[in-house]
């Protein structure tokens, strides 16, 4: 009889342990295990999938996403490919997040065509998909939250033209061929520079969002075209690589660089005069509005199909203005 009672007690203990809830966690490591939300809990879980994890731009996007998550009671799973060129890894991550049962996906697509099918799959599973920064060739996403890259690149072209006296030879360093953002900036720059008949532009030299490669292609342009007057670098790695090459060649200051983004290294290069203008996006707003749009969609609230997060042209002259400092340091008190 005692043995029977003991067995019954053990069985009750085992059942009780099996009913303990699983805690939600987030991860910064691609491929790491990501537990799903508590099945009985009220909190939502969104996967926010950037094109990369290391550049300052994406870290600021993360801050914006996490700020929105805290405001709306959403757990943010921040996970992305090791490199912006790793399209297959990003597809696998999206598929993995769908399988883990997240409630929504906010993503910057590494390739505007290759991600279409997996976005469709997410939508078929009932998940709202919001694209940020770089979209896909599909109407499925409930919203696209990004800079007007065409307008920003046209502004860069005008700024570079002014810096070189509206005459001479210039170069352009896009990042990844096939990535929507890169394509739009290349197109916008080409359109903008065409307004200046005395300026010629070299063929684009892609850097694959790699600083070392950007440095190499800049060195090649400087060697092959000593008359080159300036470069438009379309993102942070392109800009840093161009800065390194120009300074190594002893041309810092006289050679004109206009670049997208505003990492601390880019700001430092602007202050010392190697970079002459920065086309600055609002990555914090992208992350925040990406999560908010997905949340609003789930709650049945209206969501704008296209949200323009804006750009500012920053130079040494306006760098310390309060509104510019707030854009560069969105979490500063």
Tens-digit pLDDT profile for residues 168-195: 999 999 999 989 899 999 999 999 999 9
What pLDDT was estimated at residue 55?
87
Please check the confidence at residue 299 and state whether its pLDDT lies above 70.
Answer: yes
Please check the confidence at residue 240 and state whether its pLDDT lies above 80.
Answer: yes
What letter does residue 299 receive in the DSSP assignment?
Answer: T
Q: Quote the mean pLDDT of the chain.
A: 89
pLDDT digits (tens, 9 = 90+) for 130-163: 999 999 999 999 999 999 999 999 999 999 999 9
Please check the confidence at residue 276 and state whether its pLDDT lies above 70.
Answer: yes
Kindly list the strands in the beta sheet with 104-107, ordered across the sheet, starting from the edge strand earlier in the chain. 74-78, 44-49, 104-107, 129-132, 143-146, 306-308
Contact 326, 262 (CB under 8 A): no
Higher pLDDT, 222 or 21: 222
Q: Is 83 helix (H, G, I), strand (E, B) or coil?
A: coil
Give the CATH class of 149-280: alpha beta
Model confidence at 330, in pLDDT bands (50, 70, 90)?
confident
Please check the confidence at residue 124 and state whether its pLDDT lies above 90.
Answer: yes
Please check the confidence at residue 77 and state whether its pLDDT lies above 70.
Answer: yes
- 42-147+283-309: which CATH architecture? 3-Layer(aba) Sandwich (3.40)
What pLDDT was estimated at residue 230?
98
Beta strands 312-314; 277-280: pairing state: antiparallel
Model confidence at 117, in pLDDT bands (50, 70, 90)?
very high
Dihedral of the alpha carbons of 228, 234, 238, 240, in degrees to the nearest 10: 90
**Cβ neighbours of 323 (radius 10 Å):** 9
Model confidence at 54, in pLDDT bands (50, 70, 90)?
confident
Higher pLDDT, 42 or 296: 296
| Average pLDDT over every residue of 67-76 | 98
**Cβ neighbours of 319 (radius 10 Å):** 15
What pLDDT was estimated at residue 41?
56
Give the rounded percent of residues in the chain with a pLDDT score beyond 70: 87
- CATH 3.40.50.2300-classified regions of the chain: 42-147+283-309, 149-280
Task: Give DSSP secondary structure letters for 107-134.
Answer: E--SSTTTTHHHHHHHHHTT--EEEESS
Please check the confidence at residue 35 and state whether its pLDDT lies above 70.
Answer: no
Which residue from 286, 271, 289, 282 is spatially nearest to 324, judged by alpha carbons? Answer: 282
Contact 184, 174 (CB under 8 A): no
What pLDDT was estimated at residue 10?
36
What pLDDT was estimated at residue 23?
30
| Average pLDDT over every residue of 52-77 | 95
What pLDDT was estimated at residue 236?
94
Please check the confidence at residue 11 and state whether its pLDDT lies above 50.
Answer: no
What letter does residue 195 receive in the DSSP assignment?
Answer: T
Give, for 106, the enclosing helix (H) or strand (E). Answer: strand 104-107
| Average pLDDT over every residue of 308-312 | 94
Higher pLDDT, 36 or 166: 166
């Amino acid at each position: 009889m005692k043995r029977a009672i003991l067995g019954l007690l053990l069985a009750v203990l085992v059942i009780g342990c099996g009913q303990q809830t699983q805690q939600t966690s987030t991860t910064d490591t691609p491929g790491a295990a990501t537990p799903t939300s508590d099945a009985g809990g009220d909190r939502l879980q969104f996967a926010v999938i950037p094109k990369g994890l290391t550049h300052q731009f994406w870290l600021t996007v993360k801050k914006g996403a996490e700020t929105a998550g805290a405001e709306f009671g959403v757990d943010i799973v921040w996970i992305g490919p090791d490199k912006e060129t790793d399209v297959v890894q990003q597809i696998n991550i999206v598929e993995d997040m769908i399988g883990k049962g997240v409630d929504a996906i906010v993503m910057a697509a590494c390739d505007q065509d290759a991600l279409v099918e997996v976005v469709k799959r997410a939508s078929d599973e009932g998940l709202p998909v919001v694209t940020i920064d770089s979209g896909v060739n599909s109407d499925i996403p409930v919203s696209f939250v990004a800079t007007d890259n065409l307008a920003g690149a046209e502004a860069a072209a005008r700024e570079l033209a002014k810096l070189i006296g509206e005459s001479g030879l210039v170069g352009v360093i896009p990042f990844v061929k096939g990535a929507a953002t890169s394509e739009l900036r290349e197109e916008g720059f080409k359109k903008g520079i065409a307004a200046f008949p005395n300026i010629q532009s070299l063929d684009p030299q892609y850097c694959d969002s790699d600083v070392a490669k950007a440095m190499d292609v800049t060195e090649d342009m400087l060697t092959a075209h000593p008359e080159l007057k300036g470069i438009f670098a379309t993102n942070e790695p392109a800009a840093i690589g161009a800065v390194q090459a120009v300074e190594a060649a002893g041309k810092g200051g006289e050679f004109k660089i206009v670049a997208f983004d505003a990492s601390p290294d880019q700001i430092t290069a602007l202050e010392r005069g190697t970079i002459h203008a920065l086309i600055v996006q609002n990555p914090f707003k992208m992350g925040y509005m990406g999560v908010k749009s997905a949340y609003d969609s789930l709650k049945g609230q209206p969501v704008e199909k296209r949200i323009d997060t804006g750009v500012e042209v920053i130079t040494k002259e306006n760098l310390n203005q309060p509104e510019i400092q707030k854009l560069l340091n969105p979490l500063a008190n």
